[in-house]
Structure 1
Amino acid sequence: MSMELDKDAHKAALDSLEKYLRDELELDVGNLEIAGLLTFFVQEIGPSLYNKGVRAAQEQMQARVADIDMEVYADEFGYWKKSPRRR
């Protein structure tokens, strides 16, 4: 699966990465280098984060499916249980 950011997220990520490099590491890096670094991060690390999200979603869905019997369960043959006087 191809990892890509949409246009707005890509721009925000570039701005954030540039600010981090400048403010935290005191590096003055050009836009082309920043874009290359972002592309590397997205392609190299993105799939791991994506897969982690998929696993978390699968776990959530499996937990919900496991609990579905409690949500939609109906007691069977309960007519005689409702009134102890009936025989």
Structure 2
Amino acid sequence: MSEIKFSKDEMEQIVSRIKQYFNDELDQDIGGFEAEFLTDFFAKEIGPHFYNQGLADALALFNEKSEEISYSIQEMEQQTR
């Protein structure tokens, strides 16, 4: 897995949401610099867990759809003598 990186716009949105969360839920003001460091920490330390879960979910969906296609193909088989 490569390092999780966000575009400038994505980082601005994430930082804004973290600052809002700290303000609303914790009654604390947090600066943009601190929120960005927190985002980097979560991306590095916790991000791989979410990434791996996403891969597991994608694999499960792929296997489910693959099985459905397999059944559809079997239903298309014609009877032979």
Task: Give TM-score, length-normalised by structure 1.
Answer: 0.79
> What stretches of structure 2 of length at least 5 have no aligned partner?
none
Aligned to 2:36: 35
**C-alpha displacement at 1:38, in angstroms?**
1.1
Asked if residue 64 in structure 1 is aligned to residue 65 in structure 2, the reply is: yes
Rg larger for: 1
Aligned letter for 1:75?
Answer: Q
Please identify which structure carries the higher helix content.
Answer: 2
Aligned letter for 2:27?
Answer: E
Structure-to-structure mapping, 1:1-87, within 5 angstroms: 1-73=2-74, 74-77=77-80
> What stretches of structure 1 of length at least 5 have no aligned partner?
79-87
Percent identity over paired residues: 27
For each residue in 1:46-71, what CA deviation from the matched residue of structure 2 results, as whole angstroms up to 9, or x when unmatched?
Answer: 11101100000001111122222221
Q: Is the deviation greater in 38-47 or in 61-70?
A: 61-70
Aligned letter for 2:36?
Answer: A
